[in-house]
Chain A
Amino acid sequence: MVEFYRPQTLEEALQIRAEKHATPLAGGTDLLVRYRNWAGTLPKLSNSVVYVGHLPELGGIGVSGNGVGPEIRIGAAVTYSELLAHPSIPEILKRASWELSAPGLRNIATLVGNICNASPAADAVCALYVLDAEVEISGPKEPRRVPLHEFIQGPGKTVLKNNELVTAVYLPSSSLPITAYHKVGTRRANALSKLSFCGVAKLESGSVAGVAIAVGAVAPTVVRSREIEQRITGLRLDDIEASMADIMAGYDELIKPIDDQRSTAVYRKQTAHGLIERFLREEIRGAS
């Protein structure tokens, strides 16, 4: 029988995961839409669920030093509204959280739900890629940390085992203050993205001192290339144009979108291309 479990502690929740392999439920804004059924009937869940959205151990945003700089820990039950209200959350993640949805969704939907859902169209995930986020996994063994790009394996696929829970997301200190975020969708609130773009950078005396670029919904997972970013780093702003064709040829190889009900592959490819170019030509100069 499909059951609803409401543990009182994280320990109890992990025990339910280990024994019953129940599906974690946080805000439910992905899960309950996916298993939607006729009005007045139970959702079409084939597996039991374990509610984790209320667990005190998964709440709260903490800032601590780790020797290199401040590190931010975001608990797995933290909602977008809580992210937006917190002074230490990096601008790019706030932009993604803000664009993401309406108040009624931001108040309940969690950042970790967005990650675990592993949709290539997940807006916040795109921002977390440029922030070098790490995912904390707890289970029968000691909690472990996995870089986000290793945690997400493909559409709907993560490395999480059926006896584990994600307990937090860590953001290392972010030193790239120039921020550009674009979501291309049909309606501003409550619409899944056709694609999303995140760019962050830092300049030093007219040259690129650091850059990170991620594009969501144009390939099975978010596209980010450290190799191309390395090539951009060190370039003088005025020399970017001369390398543009080369840079864009690199991105075009990685951008492999599909046609779906929200958009076409051709549209996505051209738009992604245009957004990267605009970032490198204009937005990277900051100020605007």
Chain B
Amino acid sequence: MTDTPPLSLKVPQPECRPGDTPDFSGIEIPAAGTVRRPAVDEQAEAMRDLAFTIIRVMDDEGAAQGDWAGSLTDDEIAQGLRDMMTLRIYDNRMMTAQRQGKTSFYMQHLGEEAISCAFQRALQKGDMNFPTYRQAGLLIASGYPMETMMCQVFSNEADPLHGRQLPVMYSSKEHGYFTISGNLATQYIQAVGWSMASAIKGDTKIAASWIGDGSTSENDFHAALVFASTYTAPVVLNVVNNQWAISTFQGIARGGAHTFASRGHGFGIPSLRVDGNDYLAVHAVAKWAVERARRNLGPTLIEHVTYRAGGHSTSDDPSAYRPKSESEAWPLGDPIDRVKKYLIGKGVWTEERHKQAEAEITDRVIECQKRAEAIGTLNSGHVPSPRDMFEDVYAEMPPHLVRQRHEVGY
């Protein structure tokens, strides 16, 4: 006999579902500039508090505040604005192109542009990102040719990946962008290994790893943390918490932990949480973590707090699982609007200039798209030859693949 009541399964539920009023009151948002900036060599134990707050630089009026301000000049910030606008306009064009059948699939960054665009500006040539499909800003901010990105999306004859990969799964060694895997989280531990290799060789290159909130559940994430911790690897471990993993809210991956950043604590890894919609804050935190890695002080975990304002992909309709107005209720605002406000406040940008920049960027994107489409789109027939399908399986094509290639007529 026992008087213990029966157990019951507890399954976390999001605050709201379609039909409910969006509620983000559970997210504690400190005022901009109020979170301290520790020295880069401060011990992880001494900065545990930074995993439970949000580092923010720009306030509601668009002014930069506090210790984390000042990592960029206004010119650099204006360039950042252009990068983000470019990414958004590019995304819009590609979303439309997908609807027109020019490609099979696309994934946009709406609302998350600041993270990848700002982070890239804290890296040096030779550093390597291990991104997910939602960090194309790394390529844009590193000056990767947009036309080539489009050729990949269209799987045309100029696609450097020969039409083999799903759209948006870019790859560029030269631009520090590791080939994207469709299998979530695999890259996370690889980044740690890449950075360990740099240490083994006595180089000065570092790696940056990327993962979504949902994907932190995979074992690769945990393996990455333990390896990074054990070998004090020169790596920046980024978690992009955009609140959703397709239809699954972040609470399913986070579980009983208060924040994703705090996952780093069990591994003794300095862990920070940053306003992912604040270009200035993302850059400042990235710069800090990159310096730690470069100075051989070891890994940093950064949780970028943001919101996936669009669908998961072109195959997804988020109105089936979250309120339509949730995006508008997101308390950290829009990353482009916020930087624009900052620059206008500084007197180095105007509404007029913004419109002009938008028009210029749109023209440039359309120009690129025209050139890319002239080469081909998935539905135009100008796609890489079936011959390419057999290349690069091995360095040297073994006889059985040669036979199979012949059978296809090549």
Is B one of A's binding partners?
A: no
* Interface residues, chain A, with chain B CB atoms under 8 Å away: none
Which residues of B come within 8 Å of A, CB atoms?
Answer: none
